[in-house]
């Protein structure tokens, strides 16, 4: 029997306990031993719940019990999660976490401590919910030099953009619907401003390139400015607007950004809709691969956590190699990155066109039957050029990067 | 330095040598040691090739060299691959293979021998080319009871069906194009009759359900009967025709089949086109996940092989647990499986409709502007019922299972 402790009995923590119970028999076969939840750390009481007797309020009870071999952390946020997880590792316990803030901030250090102590620090559930992506990056794509990782990593924004596209509604209405369904928080900033996706792409980039990518360094733009009219133009182009979190190697340097982009049906992530997540990886030998599934939700996320518990149980006393050095990866200047840009400006077609062509050269005109404005796609130019040219245009209504 | 031997220097074997050279530095980091190709077994000579000096014609040179720790087999076919691989394992060498015939036929036995000898027998490249699917099934989806695995597992047939759909051409013309491009063999039977997909779904099913699924037991139907007219109807329905290799658990039993099906855009595999492969997995807690990528090709397949070599190198002397018992899984009778069926019959609309409704009840009529025939989708009925009802219909032109 392998004893574990669950820190935090919210949605994910209780999902973990549920999955361990529902699939107990097959999990035992996979792990080679029975997994037993010995403690649940939570400040609340859970009368009537099967784990009622296991609830403790003091982390030291768990840290000081040598029978606990694996600690699962699902409290969220950096503190006190960081202190608890670090202490658990130093006390000789492997740690499994679903906490993206913790991993993005302290992943490299916690992996080091785990390695030094022949333990494991696993975090499959911190990115992409149930989708296997951390383990494939660490263990399956080992023959490749990763050239690109691009993900739709936030289910809330993907749901909002899908609804806007399906129903022609505006951002505020779609957000309200998402909140009603529990897909968005009452304070939705972390999702809609791109901060959640930013932490996740920081984690994936650190693993893909083997060095610390600080999330604070990643250019991040949310979806709050995307309008129903932008979506009408996208449709006229056979395109969709998606929030991409992306990290691309160009020669020796890597740039990363989170921003809405237009993609068409040729992109493998085109069909990733609603609350689903998708992660696209390009390697220098494997070419394009894509992973798709539920990016959030109690049971899918718990499935990823329990898979990590099984892995930790199978590797007691043996560190599973993960290459994520604490050496900082200096990202290249986003101003040098080239894109085509979709731009809408207010004004009459004829007059605007002349001005725009003079400024951008060979543009692609886009029409969607909207009066009083002019829309086009620029040739491929740098972010810096875009800024400069945009400043000399009056009445810019929106700018969206184009990935086709 | 870890010495390996490559058996068979064809497309994949030479790809493996190329990838080990191209990405040597990063592979060394991942494996923890330099991987050195000490021998290449092939009956041919390769003058001028960098491996020229390493070519041997006698397997015993490899088997009897204790320095060789890992053997990669890429000869294809059951013999002599089986004898060579088994001997290598018995001589204490881990084995990596891309050979689906070998794995489908002898996977359980070879895994057992590897386990008894603290070695590994790895075969990521045998299904889905470069797509990580074997390792995710073994190591990432361990918290789940697998309910379904459905794959587009054969790039040749997917290319043919995509071309037929894109260009409105018939099967023979599309096959000819595929042959010209090297996507189909001169004798295309193994692909177009579904045998290749059948072996691959047998491997995935054995891993998903932990017991031996014999490929001979799997109902297999190819794509040779699919016509340009069938595709026109599919388009009228907003659907595509795809060759699905599928394995589904219903209660305590599992059925498996390889057959063309109609799917619409709600299916995660809808956008898997051309030579790409996709594998959809449904688990009882994770829900739906999907893996997408190049299902064949020199470098993608070699990428998967080299990832296995890295894993074998990291686990010298330690077996990585894989649950695939040699106990046979008795598949349930395909006649009991329910589907909706798309059916075309020759005759005039009015007269046929009456006959068809009498026979099948509440049908869905399908029109695509084709004269002299009548097309419809049945309600959900068993394969047995379909057979019986079909026998009493005259002029049946085609029958295709519908998955929406």
Domain with CATH 3.30.70.1150 in chain A: 337-402
Note the pLDDT of residue A348: 79
- Mean of the pLDDT values across residues B133-157? 96
With CB atoms and an 8 Å threshold, state whether B140 touches A141: no
Question: Using CB atoms, which residue from A270, A292, A303 is nearest to B283?
Answer: A303
A300 at B interface, C-beta within 8 A: yes
| B232-267 core/surface letters (b: 16 or more CB in 10 A; e: else) | bbbeebebbbbbbbbbbbeeeebbbbbbbbbbeeeb
Domain with CATH 3.40.50.720 in chain B: 2-129+298-324
With CB atoms and an 8 Å threshold, state whether A130 touches B292: no
With CB atoms and an 8 Å threshold, state whether B143 touches A293: no
Note the pLDDT of residue A7: 98
Nearest to B199 by CA among B149, B258, B141, B155: B258
Helix (H) / strand (E) containing B83: helix B81-90
Note the pLDDT of residue B321: 82
CA distance B247 to chain A (A): 19
Strands B2-7 and B68-73: parallel
CB atoms within 10 A of CB A64: 10
Contacts of B209 in chain A (CB under 8 A): none
Note the pLDDT of residue B322: 86
Contacts of B124 in chain A (CB under 8 A): 140
A-interface mutation test, from B37, B142, B152, B271, most A Cβ less than 10 A away: B142
Contacts of A289 in chain B (CB under 8 A): 130-132, 291-294
Between CA A7 and CA A224 the distance in angstroms is: 34
Between CA A129 and CA A135 the distance in angstroms is: 13
Number of H helices, E strands in chain B: 14, 19
Contacts of A295 in chain B (CB under 8 A): none
CA distance A366 to chain B (A): 25
Task: List all residues 6 or more positions away from B186 whose beta carbon is below 8 Å from its beta carbon.
Answer: B179
B21 at A interface, C-beta within 8 A: no
With CB atoms and an 8 Å threshold, state whether B142 touches A311: yes
Phi, psi torsion values for B334, nearest 5 degrees: -60, -25
Domain with CATH 3.30.360.10 in chain B: 136-294
Contacts of A31 in chain B (CB under 8 A): 142
A22 at B interface, C-beta within 8 A: yes
pLDDT band at B287 (very low <50, low <70, confident <90, very high): very high
Helix (H) / strand (E) containing B195: helix B195-209
Angle, CA B15 vertex, CA B14 and CA B21 arms, to 5°: 95
pLDDT band at A97 (very low <50, low <70, confident <90, very high): very high
Contact A249, A266 (CB under 8 A): no
User: Edge-to-edge strand order for the sheet containing B94-97?
Assistant: B55-56, B35-41, B2-7, B68-73, B94-97, B121-122
Residues belonging to chain B: 404
B135 at A interface, C-beta within 8 A: yes
Note the pLDDT of residue A351: 82
Contacts of A27 in chain B (CB under 8 A): 142-143
SS3 at position B138? helix
Task: List all residues 6 or more positions away from B101 whose beta carbon is below 8 Å from its beta carbon.
Answer: B76, B77, B78, B81, B199
B314 at A interface, C-beta within 8 A: yes
DSSP A281-293: EEETTTEEEEEEE
B113 at A interface, C-beta within 8 A: no
- Mean of the pLDDT values across residues A5-26? 97
Question: Using CB atoms, which residue from A32, A210, A297 is nearest to B321?
Answer: A32
Q: How far apart are the first and last CA of chain B?
A: 53
B 152-191 residues with CB below 8 A of A? none
Between CA B235 and CA A258 the distance in angstroms is: 36
Q: Which residue of A has its CA nearest to B306?
A: A143
Note the pLDDT of residue A99: 97
Contact A134, A207 (CB under 8 A): yes
Helix (H) / strand (E) containing B16: helix B11-22
- Mean of the pLDDT values across residues A336-342? 96
With CB atoms and an 8 Å threshold, state whether B285 touches A310: no
CB atoms within 10 A of CB A251: 6
With CB atoms and an 8 Å threshold, state whether B136 touches A132: yes
With CB atoms and an 8 Å threshold, state whether B292 touches A293: no
CB atoms within 10 A of CB A44: 8
CATH architecture of the region A337-402? 2-Layer Sandwich (3.30)
Note the pLDDT of residue A396: 95
Contact A319, B318 (CB under 8 A): no
Domain with CATH 3.40.50.720 in chain A: 2-129+298-328
Could you give the count of Cα atoms lying within 13 Å of B197 in the half-sphere of its Cβ? 35
Contacts of A307 in chain B (CB under 8 A): 139-143
More confident of the two residues A188 and A350 = A188
With CB atoms and an 8 Å threshold, state whether B30 touches A130: no
A-interface mutation test, from B26, B123, B286, most A Cβ less than 10 A away: B286
- Mean of the pLDDT values across residues A270-283? 96
pLDDT digits (tens, 9 = 90+) for B97-110: 999 999 999 999 99
With CB atoms and an 8 Å threshold, state whether A294 touches B314: no
B14 at A interface, C-beta within 8 A: no
pLDDT band at B295 (very low <50, low <70, confident <90, very high): confident
With CB atoms and an 8 Å threshold, state whether A140 touches B265: no
A28 at B interface, C-beta within 8 A: no
SS3 at position A213? coil
Query: Over 80: is that where the pLDDT of B4 sits?
Result: yes
- Mean of the pLDDT values across residues A229-255? 96
Strands B276-283 and B146-152: antiparallel
Crossing angle of helices A24-31 and A11-22, in 10° steps, is 80
B313 at A interface, C-beta within 8 A: no
Between CA B167 and CA A202 the distance in angstroms is: 42
> H helices of A117-186, where?
134-135, 155-167, 171-180
CA distance B13 to chain A (A): 14
| B151-187 core/surface letters (b: 16 or more CB in 10 A; e: else) | bbbbbbbbbbbbbbbeeebebeebbebbbeeebbeee
User: What integer best gives the mean pLDDT of chain B?
Assistant: 96
pLDDT digits (tens, 9 = 90+) for B366-400: 999 999 999 999 999 999 999 999 998 989 999 99
With CB atoms and an 8 Å threshold, state whether B22 touches A321: no
The CATH H-level (homologous superfamily) assignment of domain A136-294 is Dihydrodipicolinate Reductase; domain 2 (3.30.360.10)
Note the pLDDT of residue A322: 86
Between CA B19 and CA B175 the distance in angstroms is: 31
Q: Please check whether the domain covering A2-129+298-328 is classified as CATH 3.40.50.720.
A: yes
Could you give the count of Cα atoms lying within 13 Å of B360 in the half-sphere of its Cβ? 30
Beta strands in A226-361, from DSSP E residues, in sequence order: 239-250, 253-264, 276-283, 287-294, 325-328, 338-346
Angle, CA B354 vertex, CA B352 and CA B355 arms, to 5°: 65
- CA-to-CA dists, residue A179 to A15, A127, A167, A278, B388, angstroms: 21, 22, 17, 22, 51
Write a three-state SS string for B37-81. Answer: EEEEECCCCCCCCCCHHHEECCHHHHHCCCCEEEEEECCCCCCCH
Note the pLDDT of residue A308: 98
| B42-73 core/surface letters (b: 16 or more CB in 10 A; e: else) | beeeeeeeebeebbeeebeebbebeebbbbbb
Contact A136, B136 (CB under 8 A): yes
Note the pLDDT of residue B165: 96
Note the pLDDT of residue B284: 96
Residues of A marked active site are found at 200
Contact A201, A134 (CB under 8 A): no
Between CA B223 and CA B201 the distance in angstroms is: 17
Q: Percent of chain B scored above 70 by pLDDT?
A: 100
pTM: 0.95
CA distance A188 to chain B (A): 25
Contact B94, B317 (CB under 8 A): no
DSSP B302-329: HHHHHHHHHHHHHTTT-PPP---EEEEP
Question: Using CB atoms, which residue from A131, A140, A271 is nearest to B307?
Answer: A140
Between CA A232 and CA A50 the distance in angstroms is: 51
Contacts of A130 in chain B (CB under 8 A): 285-287, 289
pLDDT digits (tens, 9 = 90+) for A310-332: 999 999 999 998 889 999 999 99
Phi-psi region of B243 (alpha: psi -120 to 50; beta: other; left: phi over 0): beta
CA distance B120 to chain A (A): 15
pLDDT digits (tens, 9 = 90+) for A113-134: 999 999 999 999 999 999 999 9
CA distance B194 to chain A (A): 24
- Mean of the pLDDT values across residues B147-167? 97
Note the pLDDT of residue B296: 86
A 236-265 residues with CB below 8 A of B? 265
With CB atoms and an 8 Å threshold, state whether A300 touches B286: yes
Question: Using CB atoms, which residue from B30, B143, B210 is nearest to A23?
Answer: B143
- Mean of the pLDDT values across residues B124-134? 96
Nearest to A244 by CA among A158, A164, A161, A151: A151
Q: Which residue of A has its CA nearest to B268?
A: A271
ipTM of this complex: 0.94
pLDDT band at A296 (very low <50, low <70, confident <90, very high): confident
Nearest to B340 by CA among B379, B373, B296, B388: B379
Preceding peptide of B80 cis, ω within 30°: yes
Contact B239, B264 (CB under 8 A): yes
Q: Which residue of B has its CA nearest to A134?
A: B140
Task: List all residues 6 or more positions away from A338 whose beta carbon is below 8 Å from its beta carbon.
Answer: A380, A381, A382, A383
Q: Please check whether the domain covering B2-129+298-324 is classified as CATH 3.40.50.620.
A: no
pLDDT digits (tens, 9 = 90+) for A361-373: 999 999 999 999 9
B118 at A interface, C-beta within 8 A: no
Question: Using CB atoms, which residue from B270, B287, B299 is nearest to A285?
Answer: B299
Active-site pick, B200, B240, B242, B298:
B200
A60 at B interface, C-beta within 8 A: no
Contact A262, A401 (CB under 8 A): yes
Q: Which residue of B has its CA nearest to A35?
A: B143
- Mean of the pLDDT values across residues B262-272? 93
DSSP B155-182: HHHHHHHHHHHHH---HHHHHHHHHHTT
pLDDT band at A20 (very low <50, low <70, confident <90, very high): very high
A383 at B interface, C-beta within 8 A: no
> What's CA B3's distance to the chain center, in Å?
30
CA distance A134 to chain B (A): 10
Residues belonging to chain A: 404
B200 is known as an active-site residue:
yes
Contact B174, B180 (CB under 8 A): no
A316 at B interface, C-beta within 8 A: no
Between CA A220 and CA B219 the distance in angstroms is: 51
Nearest to B73 by CA among B55, B40, B98, B43: B98
């Amino acid at each position: 029997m392998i004893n574990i402790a669950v820190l935090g009995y919210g949605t994910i923590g209780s999902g973990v306990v549920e999955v361990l119970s529902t699939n107990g028999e097959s999990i035992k076969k996979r792990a080679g031993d029975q997994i037993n939840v010995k403690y649940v750390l939570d400040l609340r009481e859970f009368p009537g719940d099967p784990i009622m007797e296991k609830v403790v309020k003091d982390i030291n009870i768990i840290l000081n019990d040598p029978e606990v071999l694996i600690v699962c952390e699902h409290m969220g946020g950096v503190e006190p999660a960081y202190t608890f997880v670090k202490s658990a590792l130093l006390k000789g316990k492997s740690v499994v976490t679903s906490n993206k803030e913790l991993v993005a901030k302290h992943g490299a250090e916690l992996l080091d401590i785990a390695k030094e102590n022949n333990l494991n620090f696993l975090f499959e559930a911190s990115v992409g919910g149930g989708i296997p992506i951390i383990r494939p990056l660490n263990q399956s794509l080992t023959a490749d030099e990763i050239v690109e990782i691009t993900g739709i990593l936030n289910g809330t924004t993907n749901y909002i953009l899908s609804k806007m596209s399906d129903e022609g509604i505006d951002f505020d209405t779609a957000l309200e619907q998402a909140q009603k369904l529990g897909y968005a928080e009452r304070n939705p900033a972390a999702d809609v401003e791109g901060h959640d996706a930013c932490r996740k792409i920081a984690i994936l980039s650190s693993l893909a390139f083997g060095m610390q990518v600080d999330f604070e360094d990643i250019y991040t733009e949310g979806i709050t400015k995307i309008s129903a009219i932008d979506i009408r133009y996208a449709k006229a182009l056979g395109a969709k607007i998606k929030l991409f979190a992306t990290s691309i190697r160009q020669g020796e340097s890597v740039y990363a950004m989170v921003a809405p982009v237009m993609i068409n049906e040729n992109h493998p992530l085109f069909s990733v809709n609603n609350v689903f997540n998708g992660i696209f990886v390009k390697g220098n030998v494997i070419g394009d691969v894509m992973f798709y599934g539920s990016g959030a939700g109690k049971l899918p996320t718990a499935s990823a956590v329990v898979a990590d518990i099984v892995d930790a149980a199978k590797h007691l006393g043996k560190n599973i190699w993960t290459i994520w050095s604490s050496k900082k990866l200096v990202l290249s200047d986003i101003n040098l990155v080239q894109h085509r840009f979709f731009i809408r400006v207010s004004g009459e077609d004829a007059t605007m066109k002349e001005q725009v062509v003079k400024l951008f050269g060979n543009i692609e005109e886009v029409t969607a039957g909207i009066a009083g404005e002019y829309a086009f796609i620029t040739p491929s130019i740098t972010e810096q050029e875009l800024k400069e040219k945009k400043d000399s245009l009056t009445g810019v209504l929106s700018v969206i990067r184009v990935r086709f």
